[in-house]
Amino acid sequence: MKSGFKHFYNHLAVNVGNTLSRARTRIRIRNSDVRRQLDEVFSRRERIFFRKKKPNAAAYPYVIHDPYEIFGDDARFGDFNLIGQNWTDGTEKPIALLWGFNNWKWGFVADYLHDYRVAIAPRKMLPWVSLLAIWRFPVKPACFVFWGYTEPSSVLKYAAKNSVPILRMEDGFIRSSSLGASHSTPYSLVIDKTGLHYSPDTPSDLEILLNEHEFTATEVQDAEHCMSLMRSMSLSKYNPPIFSENMGGALALRRKVAVIGQVDNDMAMRLGNPENWTMLQLIRLAKHENPDAEIIYRPHPDIFQGYQRSRFQSRPVAAICRIESPDVPITEFLDGIDHLYTVTSLTGLEALLRGKTVTVVGAAFYAGWGLTDDRLRFPRRTRKRTLKELFSAVYLKYPTYLADTENARIGFHSACLRICADRVVAAFDQTRKIDASNPAALKSLMRSNYWPHLMYKCAGDYFDSAVKDIDWVPYLGNRPGRLYQSFILHAICGKLTTNGARDVFLTQVRKYIDLDLFAELLLNLGVHVPGTYVTRQTAWLLTETSEFDIAQQILVNRLKKAAAQQARISDNAQPTDFVPEDSAAKVFESSAELSDDQRQMLSELLDLHFKNKDFGAAAAAAYRLALSGHGTVNLALKIAKVAEATFDIKSARDLAFFCRHADLYAENRRAIALYLGNLPTDAKDYPELQMQQDMALELRLNPERINNGFTLSRQYSEDRNYLDRVIESMLALDNEQSVQKAMAYLEVDRPGRALEILTQIIASEGDSDRVRVAYAKALVALGSFDKALGVLDGARANQASESSYKETLRLLSFLGRYAEAEDVIADAETKRISIGDAFIMPTHLAMGRIEVGYKCYLNVPFRDQLIRYFGERYLVDECLENVSDLLIMAVYGPGDEIRFASMYEEFARKFSYKNFRLTCDYRLERILSRSFPSIEFVPVRRVRDFSSSYPREMFDKLPGAELCVMLDNSGLEWVEKSNKVVMVTDLIWQFRKNKSDFPGRAFLKHDETLASEFQDRLDPDRRHVGICWRSSLTTHSRSVNYLAVEELGPLLSLPDIQFVNFQYDECDAELAWIEENYPGKIIDFSDIDHYNDFDAVAALMKCMDAVIAPATSVAELSAALGCPTLLFAGSAEIEWRIIDEIGTDIWQASASIVVGENRGDKVSLVQELKDRLEVVLHRSERVN
């Protein structure tokens, strides 16, 4: 009532104000003073918007729009809350008025109703106020949307009288991890135009669908895929966290028949139980029809709590069945039964999907289609359906999914993955709340995978007493990595506070541990935490190694020593003294402790060892810290990085798994990223479904790392394009307002959405340096370059940071504003902000300081790492005289290597042919050896990410995994044979000091026989142009220099030109698009491996009249062969290479650099490519 009077008061106040305003107009006393008009406008806005309380929702934030900003002077009332982006994106979509929605739902329902502008009524409105609100709304609504059957009767009557369509909304059948009562976002909703599925009194869209729809083969196949996915993930409508894996149920001696409890006030029970079955009657029916079976009753959680409080209430039920706790996951429960009885519960359908017999006594929406044992008749349900057809209708065609409102299969898949991720997060969050003083809760925690959290949360008596309950198989049972074994042993021994607990622990785990590692631990314990337990464990170790006599002697000596110590203690003790059995050991235990200064120094020493690539010493320091009780999650993550660097990927992965359960959020949620960075390279060792679930957790915790998901998709998925769509769609499953989420949208080329998020962050939290830099990146992606520079200028003035300076220099380089970049560099140097030579080099080169620019390569961090790895063998002298037996190592990608290969003849003249050799990408060996026959090349494999084509076994002899980008095991052998080694980039400044030092001539020689074969396959009467439009690495920062296939239209429209595909990664969908829109315009030599066979690619290039490509290996190879090459770029970063008005490249004279009229303008870039191509082809005609 209070809400109704409030609406009445607001209505009266607004009407009085409007009446007075009209009266003043009629009697011509209206004041023309602008201030009075403003007072009137803002007084009205105060009443209808500013003064109103504005609710929000933490799980799915939203913005309530000011009606005045939407409707202008027509906005005289504020009865409805305007929610969603459709109000501000300039569209004129129809309006839906929503009734019965709690305010925590407002954000996501607006996104579900993407075809409407959404206006939501408050929950409490008097009937007449509801009608008044509809009448005075500025625009006629297209429909009313009700949550369930909560609509006001007056509104329902109004809709019927005025023919306003009604939609009803309810939760879908794959909803979330948490219950709706926790205000969790539903990942699927039902939007029904006819009724609702749980009301049998009227038809529903679902019932009509099952009666009338003819399912296609594709729909049935999609249903099969999704049903398998749901079962494999053990998903239900709600999916609370699981703390431990199903250990297997008891031996089934009888059939198990389950009865699912429901509460009487549940809407499905109120509407769908016409015969008024009670739960007791249903249990009796199950017992009567299955006298030899075990009857299991699973009550609703609310009912179960009542049973627990009252034995009297449970007695009639317990007499004929076993009562099962609803805390057991429903999917686990269903897996253990044979038959299920229910009134209307959705669990009946979920049992049906798992192949169980289901008896239904109520009007369940899934009954009556020939799949259930029905005790009611359903005269409207006229079809018999297969289980797959039923699944398709219920889970795919009837609901709408938040992840993708148009494609149900994508939406379903995304929802399932996100629910699994939410379940992991919820499990850890609940772990943090567990009371360790509760023995039952403590034991349950220690039997789960989350015991590491207790180890850090409350080490001491609780952990000492509970360590015996840990199941070690998940953590030690599968031959874990050696670094992992050692760290876990030292860390746990350091967290335990008594030698008795250490003895129990070591006895439990020693059978899983490599004996030499166990021996190393015992030596460390003997020094730092000695005691009789060390003697016993040492004796066991010697027995295991068949050293029986030594074991016996150690035990005897330890007993003698203990007796002597006891005698000395007894002589000194007072009669009332109590001497614990292990008191002597307690004295020695203090030696395990480190002072704060010692701990700090040891931590710094660990970091120094890691920096100096002394990984063994780093591990030793970590073990000492761990044994002193400082084996933190952060320390475990450091050891994981040591394991990663030394190719002990099992340890890296196992440590990441351990850290994930100890503290999911540690180090910016780094454990899951570390885990995914150390996966097996063979897909057989890492099932795709597991990959998808791990990837979903990464995206849930670190959305800005979405590109990692695309990488995993490329490596492990059988259908990469489909999974990529699933990954991107998962961004829509929350409305998280964070910089990380904004960066994720930037990575998938949705800068507008990123900017919206960042704008909301600034409005609510302010503009930190991090937010400003991200905001500038979004502006750049939208083409607002000057505005982005203004934001960055403000960021540097407000808080000078490395990130703001680097982003400014990146943008200035992109724009070609190098004079300004020099000022920024000077300012950074004045403020002693390190920005790195990689950001300074483009400015030096653009300003013509070639030598200074290329000298920047001497200061890149990777060179410093090589010096640490190779020590004196690495050539650091600038003087190149008297250098012998030199190995010059190519670095970076094939395109860079090809470009720098133009200096190889000069290297030979400098060092003499027999005095040096060059590493090369193994794919380039043949063409380089043909082009430079007197130079010895060492073919190596270089890799950014390991894969089945580039497994770790090719690199695991390297002293550090960082070197994989430059060397493999065979390359390391040549390093060790050489007197000196150096990167090719270290030498560039010695050979390219000025622009006159670039000869610009072609230098690569192709296979003429192979080229002749390709030429015979081409139409001699047509001009042939090779084309590549992007790199295989397409991140947000790189995509500005590439083209989408849809942007190639003006080129593809050129007559009498046959384009030839030189795209070197998966591009079938893009080629299909070209064929559909420009039939016959492009041909693809599918027998050429464009990624690996550079010799064949080079031969085909020599058959082209021209080649078009961005700054990739395609353009560099074409130009180095002397082919007319149009090298296009969207930024100014390579414009320093232009030496004349036609864009001739300073490195390769056969290449012309093509840029658009404006930075980032792809339309003008393609037009310029078209014009330049016509010139090139015309020029070649004249030559011929």
The DSSP secondary structure of 77-138, one letter per residue, reads ---SEEESGGGTSS----EEEEES--GGGHHHHHHHTTTSEEEE--S---HHHHHHHHHHSS
pLDDT higher than 90, residue 435: no
Q: How far is CA 1081 from CA 250, 988, 1028, 1056, in A?
A: 66, 41, 14, 9
Q: What is the CATH number of the domain that holds 393?
A: 3.40.50
Answer whether residue 48 is part of any domain.
Answer: yes
pLDDT higher than 60, residue 1059: yes
pLDDT in tens, 1087-1117: 999 999 999 999 999 999 999 999 999 999 9
Q: Where are the alpha helices (DSSP H) in 595-681?
A: 596-611, 615-625, 633-645, 649-662, 666-676
Find the length of the chain: 1184
Answer for the pair 1132, 1155: CB distance below 8 angstroms, yes or no: yes
Answer for the pair 203, 179: CB distance below 8 angstroms, yes or no: no
Q: How far is CA 1111 from CA 257, 329, 856, 1073, 1152, in A?
A: 67, 54, 21, 24, 11
pLDDT in tens, 257-276: 999 998 877 888 889 999 99
pLDDT higher than 60, residue 565: no
As beta bridge partners, residue 919 has 938
pLDDT (0 to 100) of residue 306 = 58
pLDDT higher than 50, residue 356: yes
CA angle, 57 then 180 then 702, to 5°? 60
pLDDT (0 to 100) of residue 948 = 86
Q: Which helix (H) or strand (E) holds 292?
A: none
- Do 708 and 571 belong to one domain? no
Confidence of residue 548 (pLDDT cuts 50, 70, 90): low
Comparing CA positions, the residue from 243, 184, 215 lying closest to residue 59 is: 184
pLDDT in tens, 1020-1052: 999 999 999 988 765 555 678 899 999 999 999
Confidence of residue 557 (pLDDT cuts 50, 70, 90): low
d(CA 744, CA 1073) in angstroms, rounded, equals 27
Q: How far is CA 921 from CA 473, 696, 895, 943, 1087, in A?
A: 43, 35, 10, 10, 22
pLDDT (0 to 100) of residue 251 = 55
How many CB atoms are located within 10 Å of the residue 946 CB? 22
AA letter at 803: S
Q: Which helix (H) or strand (E) holds 1031?
A: none
d(CA 184, CA 59) in angstroms, rounded, equals 7
Confidence of residue 913 (pLDDT cuts 50, 70, 90): confident
DSSP 771: H
Comparing CA positions, the residue from 1140, 1137, 1135, 1120 lying closest to residue 1165 is: 1135
Residue 318 or residue 183, greater confidence: 183
Comparing CA positions, the residue from 703, 246, 272, 241 lying closest to residue 428 is: 241
Q: Where are the alpha helices (DSSP H) in 275-392?
A: 279-289, 301-309, 311-318, 330-335, 346-353, 387-391
Q: Encode burial over 498-527: b for 16+ CB neighbours within 10 A, e otherwise.
A: bbbbbbbbbeebbebbeeeebbbbbebbee
Structure tokens at 727: 């990954």
Q: Which helix (H) or strand (E) holds 395?
A: none
- Do 481 and 615 belong to one domain? yes
Residue 933 or residue 304, greater confidence: 933
pLDDT higher than 70, residue 460: no
pLDDT (0 to 100) of residue 780 = 94
- Do 479 and 498 belong to one domain? yes
AA letter at 832: R
pLDDT higher than 50, residue 800: yes
What angle do the packed helices 515-528 and 482-495 form, to 10 degrees? 30
Answer whether residue 411 is part of any domain.
Answer: no
pLDDT (0 to 100) of residue 57 = 80
pLDDT in tens, 963-1018: 999 999 999 999 999 999 999 999 999 999 999 999 999 999 999 999 999 999 99
Task: Beginning with the edge strand found earlier in the chain, give each strand of the sheet holding 1082-1083 in spatial order.
Answer: 1082-1083, 1057-1061, 1023-1027, 1106-1110, 1125-1129, 1151-1155
pLDDT (0 to 100) of residue 556 = 56
- Do 956 and 1105 belong to one domain? no
Answer for the pair 699, 726: CB distance below 8 angstroms, yes or no: no
Instruction: Give the pLDDT mean for 900-922.
Output: 95
pLDDT higher than 80, residue 1135: yes
Listed in sequence order, the residues at least 6 apart from 474 whose beta carbon sits closer than 8 Å to its beta carbon are 449
- Do 231 and 378 belong to one domain? yes
pLDDT (0 to 100) of residue 371 = 97
Of 212-226, 239-253, 446-460, 1143-1157, the one with minimum mean pLDDT is 239-253
DSSP assignments along 1146-1183, one per residue: SS-TTEEEEE-SSTT-HHHHHHHHHHHHHHHHHHHHHH
pLDDT higher than 80, residue 585: no
Confidence of residue 125 (pLDDT cuts 50, 70, 90): confident
Listed in sequence order, the residues at least 6 apart from 746 whose beta carbon sits closer than 8 Å to its beta carbon are 754, 774, 777, 778, 781, 1036
d(CA 422, CA 1132) in angstroms, rounded, equals 44
Comparing CA positions, the residue from 445, 947, 881 lying closest to residue 680 is: 947
> Could you give the number of structural domains in the chain?
7
Comparing CA positions, the residue from 729, 707, 733, 711 lying closest to residue 720 is: 711
pLDDT higher than 60, residue 16: no
d(CA 7, CA 1173) in angstroms, rounded, equals 69
- Do 728 and 749 belong to one domain? no
pLDDT (0 to 100) of residue 1142 = 92
pLDDT in tens, 1076-1087: 999 999 999 999
Tell the residue number behind the tokens 């490329």, with chain if given: 714
CA angle, 1029 then 1034 then 1036, to 5°? 120
Answer whether residue 198 is part of any domain.
Answer: no
pLDDT (0 to 100) of residue 442 = 85
pLDDT higher than 50, residue 92: yes
Cα-trace Rg, the chain: 36
- Domain boundary, last residue among 171, 190, 220: 171
As a whole number of Å, the end-to-end CA separation of the chain is: 91
Instruction: Give the pLDDT mean for 660-679.
Output: 93
- Domain boundary, last residue among 997, 1025, 1049: 997
Q: Which helix (H) or strand (E) holds 840?
A: helix 837-846
Instruction: Give the pLDDT mean for 836-853.
Output: 95
Comparing CA positions, the residue from 923, 922, 892, 920 lying closest to residue 907 is: 920
- Do 674 and 564 belong to one domain? yes
Instruction: Give the pLDDT mean for 26-43.
Output: 64
pLDDT higher than 60, residue 5: no
**Cα torsion through 669, 674, 676, 681, rounded to 10:** 180
- Do 289 and 147 belong to one domain? no
Q: For the purposes of burial, counting CB atoms within 10 Å of the CB of 777, is it exposed (0-12), middle (13-18) or buried (19 or more)?
A: buried
Answer whether residue 575 is part of any domain.
Answer: yes
pLDDT (0 to 100) of residue 860 = 93
- Do 526 and 569 belong to one domain? yes
d(CA 784, CA 786) in angstroms, rounded, equals 6
pLDDT (0 to 100) of residue 317 = 79
Answer whether residue 194 is part of any domain.
Answer: no
Answer for the pair 997, 1112: CB distance below 8 angstroms, yes or no: no
Residue 431 or residue 45, greater confidence: 431
Q: What is the CATH number of the domain that holds 1074?
A: 3.40.50.2000
pLDDT (0 to 100) of residue 931 = 97
pLDDT higher than 80, residue 136: yes
Answer whether residue 413 is part of any domain.
Answer: no
Answer whether residue 249 is part of any domain.
Answer: yes
Answer whether residue 353 is part of any domain.
Answer: yes
Q: How far is CA 551 from CA 534, 539, 556, 1051, in A?
A: 12, 4, 9, 83
Q: What's the whole-model pTM score? A: 0.89
Confidence of residue 586 (pLDDT cuts 50, 70, 90): very low
pLDDT higher than 50, residue 464: yes
Q: Which helix (H) or strand (E) holds 191?
A: strand 188-192
- Do 793 and 924 belong to one domain? no
Provide the mean pLDDT of the chain: 88
Residue 478 belongs to what domain range? 432-678
Q: Which helix (H) or strand (E) holds 926?
A: helix 925-931
Comparing CA positions, the residue from 638, 668, 661, 670 lying closest to residue 651 is: 638
Phi and psi at residue 22, in whole multiples of 5°?
A: -65, -35
d(CA 414, CA 318) in angstroms, rounded, equals 41
Instruction: Give the pLDDT mean for 873-897.
Output: 92
* 3-class secondary structure, 1058: strand
Instruction: Give the pLDDT mean for 383-402.
Output: 97
pLDDT (0 to 100) of residue 569 = 44
Of 214-228, 237-251, 927-941, the one with minimum mean pLDDT is 237-251
Tell the residue number behind the tokens 């083969």, with chain if given: 217
Answer for the pair 727, 709: CB distance below 8 angstroms, yes or no: yes
Q: Where are the alpha helices (DSSP H) in 749-801?
A: 751-765, 769-781, 785-798
- Do 596 and 505 belong to one domain? yes
d(CA 99, CA 93) in angstroms, rounded, equals 19
- Domain boundary, last residue among 678, 708, 726: 678
- Do 9 and 141 belong to one domain? yes
Instruction: Give the pLDDT mean for 640-662.
Output: 95
pLDDT (0 to 100) of residue 29 = 43
Tell the residue number behind the tokens 């799949």, with chain if given: 371
Q: For the purposes of burial, counting CB atoms within 10 Å of the CB of 909, is it exposed (0-12), middle (13-18) or buried (19 or more)?
A: exposed
Confidence of residue 128 (pLDDT cuts 50, 70, 90): confident
